[in-house]
Amino acid sequence: MYVNAEEVLPAELLAEIRQYVQGAALYIPKQGDKAGWGEKNGTRNLLRQRNLEIASRHRRGESIARLMEEYHLGYDSIKKIVRQYRKEHL
């Protein structure tokens, strides 16, 4: 939403802001806690669950090649997940 600063800000504050920005659009974000990546739509939780499953299956003896094929991830990605969850869940 676009709002003209002269219509909503006191003259003193507008003069102060002009020392930093003039003639440009300035975005002022909402105040409050910002949700992290994937927290609002559940993606972060889904990936955490998937990664736990990958690490668990690997601990039970499933090969990296099989996990790569099933989850459509590369070798390095699977190794990183396995290594990460080994450290976190020992």
Mean per-residue pLDDT, 62-79: 97
Give the per-residue pLDDT at 34.
Answer: 80
Is 90 a residue whose pLDDT tops 60?
Answer: no
Q: What is the pLDDT of residues 3-60, one digit of tens each?
A: 899 999 999 999 999 999 988 888 888 888 788 888 888 899 999 999 999 999 999 9
Structure tokens given for 35:
């949700």
Please report where in the chains the tokens 């949700």 appear, as a residue.
35
Q: pTM for the complete prediction?
A: 0.60
Domain assignment of residue 25, given as a range: 5-31+38-88
Query: Domain total for the chain?
Result: 1
At 83 the three-state DSSP class reads helix
Mean per-residue pLDDT, 72-80: 97
